Amino acid sequence: MDLEYSERHRALQQEIREFAAKEGHRSPKTGGGRKRPDLKTLDWQALLLERGYFARTIPKKYGGYGAAPDVVEAAIIADEFSKAGLYPGIMNQGISMLVPTLLEVGREDQKEQWVETTIRGKTIWCQGYSEPGSGSDLAAARTRAELDGDHFVVNGQKIWTSSAHYADMMFLLCRTEPDKGKHDGLSYLLLSMKTPGIEVRPLTTMTGRAEFNETFFTDVRVPAAQIVMGRGDGWRVANITLKYERMLLGDPNKLMHRLNSIQNLMERTEIDGARIIELSEYRDRLLKLQGEVLAWKYHGMRLLTDLANDEDSGVRRLIVKYVGTMLGHRLSSLAVDVLSAAGLSYDPQGEDKDDDEATTWHIDYMYDVGLIIGGGTSQIQKNIIAERGLGLPREPKPKEQAAAR
């Protein structure tokens, strides 16, 4: 354990505090993030990139800050931004999932073309993974892409494509090698959402918003060079992306930030003249969650150390999505209970308007259930933890089961 602040760390902390005082008024409100970033958000993002408070370890030639990974620096930035209530930067599928995937296995020209524009928030991506017939069984994807000259021709349907209605690009898992096995027959393509033959139909969720979509492909032509790795490598690439998706979904900084917001909410919300934080039944719930979020925060620091040392985190990483999303839902549940006890209502104003605090928490409380399901459900995560992390045997396939009888 070596978490001493060096001179450099103290200087960074001081620098961020000065930055917060001087530039903090330019920060967009935290939360939200399910829309295309507006001008204010894009300006703030540019400022964060310039100062190295975002994409700090992405190489300069791809638009990042080019710093070496440093657990303490990352923790200082997250802490100071959370304390100052500053927007920590855009989180979307392109930034959190596609960019690290390309940095890990993309071609040089792909990194140069896509990383900078994506981390600047200018290029928005959506994820073409799930299909009506392949959800938890993702590798059963049937959307096919056949090579015709120097283009793949894509036909099929994807579902749960978040932000497809405003995305510029999609990363798509599709079947290019129908003769090969389930996992070996897949490829991973990057394609423009403006390509003819793509139809996006919104799906309304329980929040009342159309947060994701069904996407239909009819003879959509994608240049063959827009493949990541080679033909038949799609399952491998998709799993790299999933690894980053699951890390994002369990992000401890987000939960820390949320815990602070709930504490603040409980300190200023009253029932019958008493602040809710003074009521032991509610306070103990907050304290339980505080202990869990703290454990989660330090677990995140341990994972960052693994990453910096290029060590395999094994089961430590595999639990992230499951634990983080379940904890997120318990946090928003407490917020909703506090607000409901104080008699506040739910009154969403629609996607383009700002909602009041109670409504925002209620939307999170619903959205969090979606996060528990999306990116591989909690039950799929538990299979992965047990099988890949603990070495427990897979469930026998129906055929094997019949043969064993």
In this structure, what are the phi and psi dihedrals at residue 131, rounded to the nearest 5 degrees? -130, 165
How far apart CA 44 and CA 25 sit, in angstroms, is 10
Nearer to other proteins, 147 or 287 (CB): 287
Helix axes 71-84, 280-308, angle to 10 degrees: 150
Site string for other proteins, 261-300 (x = CB under 8 A): ------x---------xx-x--xx-xxx-xxx-xxx-xx-
How far apart CA 130 and CA 115 sit, in angstroms, is 24
How far apart CA 383 and CA 368 sit, in angstroms, is 21
Tokens of 386: 């047990």
Binding-site member from 20, 67, 203, 301 for other proteins (CB under 8 A) = 301
In sequence order, what are the residues at sequence separation of 6 or more whose Cβ sits closer than 8 angstroms to the Cβ of residue 393? 387
Nearer to other proteins, 95 or 286 (CB): 286
Whether 73 is catalytic is: no
Site string for other proteins, 304-333 (x = CB under 8 A): xxx-xx-----xx--x--xx----------
In angstroms, give the least distance from the CB of 265 to other proteins: 13
Q: Contact region for other proteins (CB under 8 A) — 100-108, 129-137, 196-204, 390-398?
A: 390-398
17 binds other proteins (CB under 8 A): no
166 binds other proteins (CB under 8 A): no
399 binds other proteins (CB under 8 A): no
H or E element at residue 15:
helix 7-23
131 binds other proteins (CB under 8 A): no
Place of tokens 């909410």: 265
Is residue 215 within 8 A of residue 128, CB to CB? The reply is yes
Nearer to other proteins, 228 or 255 (CB): 255
How far apart CA 280 and CA 274 sit, in angstroms, is 11
Q: Which amino acid is at 295?
A: A
In angstroms, give the least distance from the CB of 70 to other proteins: 5
In angstroms, give the least distance from the CB of 242 to other proteins: 17
How far apart CA 199 and CA 233 sit, in angstroms, is 26
260 binds other proteins (CB under 8 A): no
In angstroms, give the least distance from the CB of 323 to other proteins: 5
How far apart CA 346 and CA 359 sit, in angstroms, is 5
Nearer to other proteins, 210 or 287 (CB): 287
Place of tokens 């639990």: 319
Q: Contact region for other proteins (CB under 8 A) — 145-153, 174-182, 228-236, 384-392?
A: 384-392
Binding-site member from 17, 142, 209, 382 for other proteins (CB under 8 A) = 382
**Which one of the listed residues 245, 351, 357, 400 is annotated catalytic?**
245
Tokens of 38: 């507006």
In sequence order, what are the residues at sequence separation of 6 or more whose Cβ sits closer than 8 angstroms to the Cβ of residue 301? 71, 75
Site string for other proteins, 74-113 (x = CB under 8 A): ----------------------------------------
How far apart CA 201 and CA 187 sit, in angstroms, is 24
Pairing of the two strands 274-275 and 270-271: antiparallel
Binding site for other proteins (CB under 8 A): 1-4, 70-72, 267, 277-278, 280, 283-284, 286-288, 290-292, 294-296, 298-299, 301-302, 304-306, 308-309, 315-316, 319, 322-323, 379, 381-383, 385-387, 389-396, 404-405
Catalytic residues: 245
